[in-house]
Amino acid sequence: MKTRNIIRTETNNHYLKNITQWLREHVEKGDDKPKGFPLNLYLGTPATDDDALAHKEEFLRFCQDWQQPVPAGHVEFVNKNYPELGNMKVPVHLIFDSVEDLASWAGHLVEYHSAVSKLDVVKKECPDLIDSAIEIITPLSNLEEDDFSRFIAVAKWLMANRKSGAFIRQIPVRGIDTHWFEIHRHLLIDFLRAPLALDPRRSDLLQLGLQPPPQMVAMRILDHVLRGRVGGMSFLSSDVHNLEKLNLKPHRVIFIDDVQTALSLPDIAGTVAIITPTSNPAQVAGISWIANARCQYIGSIDRRSFALLHNLRLYLPAIENLNLNEEIFYKNRDLWTDDERSSYNGALTALNQAEAFFYRAMAEGAYGSNVRLDLERIPMADIQQVLGVKTAADEAAESFTAVGQGDAK
């Protein structure tokens, strides 16, 4: 004997299992009664008098409960006479005349109404996309009306301009900006995947015919001669295409994760510091004056930095790791913090044996659970030491030694 809570669970499961087909039939037929409706849901009525009498108290509660008003649909009863109970009005089925009735019981009525209204709009505005709309109807129906209108307008424009080469800012739809597009990009790609034959492994703008903004690379020039080749500029940012045009030709390129650390470095002859790119490292590594230089890497000591080093080494096989080691990590253990952003624990095949061992030890919690050493916390003296640059202490010691030798003479 089923309670109302049990029926809610059953109707919810039935709704989720069949809603896609029902919406498809709604689009095709335009009504709210797809195949299978009216739907009779069995309430678990005892099959025999003996079964009812064996659970008399439960049976009485069952009959009384289902005689109360129901939120949607209607209950089918039969009149029966029981030896110990007399004439009883026994509930047998809960009958739903429409999907709307079932959705109401299942707690999906608002969602269903939204789905139907949005499919009606798609059918009117862009009928070629109706099948795609049905496939993603749940996230589509959750869009606010203004966002849904923009979503459809953008989809229609992309369909009509498949190789526009436009920037997001150039899409002629009111209210569209980069922030909006990034929020809805994956849903747009799912919506247009079949009609535009998009690659399921990609989610970039290029396959939508749009042009992404150029990747900007920030760098600090640490040599006064090299600075003279770019008008004396010390810190600059440019896209990859224009960086290739610079006549820098440094002997050494240091990839460094942190802007503050890069700005704090002293002059180093023949050296340029590049702020490590977190995406598309191949483009940066392909710049000729970078590819031909001696490349080195300095980063925070955490799993994310090992992943960045791995990505760089795929395109710059000879790049040297300067500070991702246990010695620097452990001697600065009082500066460790929680690692809240590194979640990747997979294999990094471009690491050498020592790097891979240290990376696995960190990933497996050998030094504690999710600990890291931020690059900004590593003393600048340690950074300069691994770079082979004299620190103020080194220079003071040399000066003291020179003075002492002079006095001895």
Kindly list the domain boundaries of the chain, sorted by start residue: 4-107, 126-208, 216-395
Round to whole Å and give the CA distance between 66 and 131: 40
Q: Is the pTM of this model over 0.85?
A: no
Round to whole Å and give the CA distance between 145 and 173: 15
* pLDDT score for 293: 98
Phi and psi at 343, nearest 5°, equal -115, -10
* pLDDT score for 260: 96
* pLDDT score for 280: 81
Spatial neighbors of 187 by CB under 8 A, at least 6 apart, are 136, 139, 140, 151
* pLDDT score for 347: 85
CA dihedral over 11, 17, 18, 23, signed as positive or negative: positive
Round to whole Å and give the CA distance between 335 and 373: 7
In angstroms, how far is CA 341 from the centroid of its own chain? 13
Round to whole Å and give the CA distance between 82 and 64: 16
Round to whole Å and give the CA distance between 82 and 284: 85
Round to whole Å and give the CA distance between 201 and 3: 46
* pLDDT score for 369: 87
CATH for 216-395, among 3.30.1370, 3.40.630, 3.40.50, 3.40.1360?
3.40.1360
Cis amide prior to 38 (ω within 30 degrees): yes
Round to whole Å and give the CA distance between 162 and 208: 7
- pLDDT tens for the chain, residues 1 to 409: 888 899 999 999 999 999 999 999 988 887 667 888 999 989 988 888 878 888 888 888 888 899 999 989 999 999 988 887 888 888 999 999 999 999 999 999 999 999 999 999 999 999 999 999 999 999 999 999 999 999 999 999 999 998 899 999 999 999 999 999 999 999 999 999 999 988 888 878 888 999 888 889 999 999 999 999 999 999 999 999 999 999 899 999 999 999 999 999 999 999 999 999 988 899 999 999 999 999 999 999 999 999 999 999 999 999 999 999 999 999 999 999 998 877 667 789 999 999 999 999 999 999 998 899 999 999 999 999 999 987 655 555 555 555 455 565 5
Say if residues 266 and 273 touch (Cβ distance below 8 Å).
Answer: no
DSSP E strand boundaries for 25-96: 39-42, 74-82, 86-96
